[in-house]
């Protein structure tokens, strides 16, 4: 899910709200993956600890090709290191929060610490090969996001999964579509699937906890 750091998420997707509502909804583990940034993960980790939740730290990268890739890490500190790398690779794009939405960095008490100047949903200067390599160099796991969607997705941008770009898993917004994509030759057989609520609003957290986790990804990170 996204926190209020992502401009596309609502302001009430605060660290404490996310953790508290996820706990009430019956979650045991959550992944927070803001766009091209990890700055809210320290607060989210504190809130998860308070509510007895496990956190899978991550970042949703928008590559130079405009492909979204989920990058998961073992620790918040590693995700923050990766986020600093991404921020340096973001363009100095004119950013108006009234147009794009606010980008709020918060503490564990949901107090605003600062805002972020660069537009976080922009494309970094790193291509998908570079993003995957940088993620794995930090011990992370890269997973192409919502691959069946019509935009910001590996299949809609490239049309296929290159043989020299192996992934252990892909994320599907609708996991039931995997078989059809394999039958069409768009994805290889044997890939594990992550599916998620992709929550941007509080009602998404409460009503859409249907995530399916790829076992190999979790074994490597938790």
Residues 164-213: pLDDT tens digits?
999 988 998 777 888 899 999 898 888 888 876 778 888 777 655 555 55
Neighbours of 192 (CB within 10 A): 17
Q: Which of 154, 38, 128, 145 is nearest to 85 (CA)?
A: 38
Where are any strands of DSSP class E within 107-177? 112-115, 141-144, 169-171
Q: Check: CATH 3.20.20 for 15-211?
A: yes
Q: Mind listing the pLDDT tens digit for each residue in 101-146? A: 999 999 999 999 999 999 999 999 999 999 999 999 999 999 999 9
Cα(141)–Cα(149) distance, integer angstroms: 21
Strands 68-72 vs 54-62: parallel, antiparallel or unpaired: antiparallel
Helix (H, G, I), strand (E, B) or coil at 16: helix
118-153 b/e (C-beta count within 10 Å ≥ 16 → b): bbbbbbbebebeebbebbeebebbbbbbbbbbeebb
- How is the chain split into domains, by residue range? 15-211
């Amino acid at each position: 899910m996204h926190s209020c750091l992502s401009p596309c998420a609502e302001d009430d997707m605060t660290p404490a709200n996310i953790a508290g509502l996820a706990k009430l909804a019956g979650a045991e583990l959550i992944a927070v993956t803001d766009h091209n940034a990890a700055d809210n993960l320290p607060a989210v980790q504190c809130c998860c600890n308070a509510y007895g939740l496990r956190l899978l730290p991550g970042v949703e990268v928008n590559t130079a090709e405009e492909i979204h890739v989920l990058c998961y890490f073992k620790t918040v500190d590693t995700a923050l290191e990766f986020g600093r790398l991404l921020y340096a690779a973001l363009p100095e794009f004119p950013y108006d929060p009234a147009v794009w939405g606010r980008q709020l960095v918060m503490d564990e008490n949901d107090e605003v610490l600062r805002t972020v100047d660069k537009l976080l949903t922009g494309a970094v200067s790193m291509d998908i090969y570079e993003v995957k390599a940088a993620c794995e160099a930090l011990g992370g796991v890269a997973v192409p996001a919502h691959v069946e969607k019509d935009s910001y997705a590996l299949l809609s941008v490239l049309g296929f999964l290159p043989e020299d770009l192996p992934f252990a898993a892909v994320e599907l917004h609708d996991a039931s579509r995997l078989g059809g994509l394999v039958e069409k030759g768009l994805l290889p057989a044997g890939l594990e699937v992550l599916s998620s609520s992709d929550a941007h609003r509080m009602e998404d957290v409460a009503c859409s906890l249907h995530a399916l986790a790829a076992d190999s990804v979790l074994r490597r990170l938790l």
